[in-house]
Structure 1
């Protein structure tokens, strides 16, 4: 597909995105925000996030505005939201200012960040490469300094992967920890509200609001380090080499790593189990709307929704059983004091001009990694602490269910130590 910013270099009729750019905020040079009227809502005075600006992925409701979900036919066929999504309201109540709504892949069903209708937000930390999706605009806006932090969603990796590609911090929380009220569903048993920031400390501060603020988190909780060997085997050689020193420093901080096989050295089977369960839930969520509206999807999205419609209950039922087996095994592995270490993505962001076949192959490896936390409903943080070919790459940590605050506290301490080492 054409990169939005290559197209935007020509004015007038030769630029297919010129009309879209005209609808974006004048300060958005990255194509991160949706080409529609933008909400700008001040936060409550004196809140813990006062003075900070945030953006929300365009699957979060904002009162008085249509939630577009990355597709013009969805926007056309839905009325303005009556109330803010719970996560948006919580951030406004905490004092943060909503700057606008960001581009998403169509109905949040992709990991690339290339929207057929609205273009590809610019990845400032890896020029010429995709930002990752489906929370593409939110990641691009944070990486580019347009906002301090941003809301995204993570079903199959849509926060963890863009965070790695764009060189920022991102969290997928424990499933169910953050309210999904007012958020477009995709696959409800996997859907989570996630968020991005440029600093680990701010990622944690936002978490204190969205996770309910009941506790601060304890970085010292963690005693054991598990390294997912089968997950690292999915990384490119260059990515594995770049992440290795970080794993060594984690060992120095925690314990000598215990090498484990999380997905039975069979990543493709686990990825397909995730996809089969997800597909059935996607069609439950949107099949009736697709059948009744006949929306125009981009080629990649159309192929994905058609494939989802072909998945049978006979394929999904055993996958659900296997999911619970994996969740129980991971819970036993992690106990109360272990972190599981793995790459956030198999390598750096693919180039924007990559072929559909190249992106599909890469996506399979990505989903094999991201399916682990998704299937087990666990929190996972992306830490952008490595570089390959001048592009960012994240190491990630998975924690036990419900340990989000302690995971964020550890990430802040770890990244502060990494920054001191770089000085």
Structure 2
């Protein structure tokens, strides 16, 4: 395959999804009959994109298997064993997703091998490691987007606990105050996660009742109350006090590295990640929470959130700093009179148009495709060069040059 082609992408109807954002993007009936949580663009084995070629719908997964060098580029095909190394998504959350973290590569390899030795089926609900890969990701807001990311500094956690006044957590709070460092944070969080059920119920009841009194003072307290309505006996209710609460504005992004607790609470965004299904959950979910494995994976690195804006690149191609080898995220801001011409040496690229109307021209073959709101396409590495003209906002996923 050596030509630019449109994509027909699968959606995921998870219960936390919005009924309107993705249907509106795709020009479909809205609100939808069921939640539409994610739009997947890529070659995930369970739900690959379909490529529209000569009036046929062909699986991107199968096309890559047949022509890996043409689609991925020789270096990417060799480096990633003929696999597309990223998954590109539009994510739309009307309700909170689970609190979770992802392993690094060494942890993923060890965990995958261990669970294979234990003969745990890949599709078993209690399996943690589905593959040997890590799963760094970047989320970029398409509208105001609430999220939790990484631990707050110990001093800030203590201040918030004092503002709420949770007497039933006095012992743990005092321990963190005596050791306001990574080790102290690990001890504090471990004590919460392994708390006996009856005491956990008392702690959560007190925390929610106290937060209701001061919810107007801090968005973190308001989110504790909101989360308690959905997950009344889940320790994840306390996460807005323990983790950094962030509201990304449109165009802002943040990186999620291995070993960092995070949760997406509400909003819509572009998500780009290494191709892996390894997730260790920490709360706000009816699914398995493997506390011991989660504690092994977490780095307990505390600090403020670094919000990202795209760097101003050449030819309207604004690149977000990701520092990962599997993917790069760009915002293409095409204005009337602009012309974005691609470099001749590139890897595979997947694009989706969020706003506007543009045209992409294959400068080698002369083919022209329209890019309107909701349109997505793939540009194989074998395409010689392309040009984009019009007025549009486009997000692009690619593989950085090694």
Q: The TM-score by the shorter chain falls in which range?
A: under 0.3
- Structure with the bigger percentage of helix: 1
TM-score for the superposition, normalised by structure 2: 0.26
Structure that is richer in strand per residue:
2
Between Structure 1 and Structure 2, whose CA radius of gyration is higher? 2
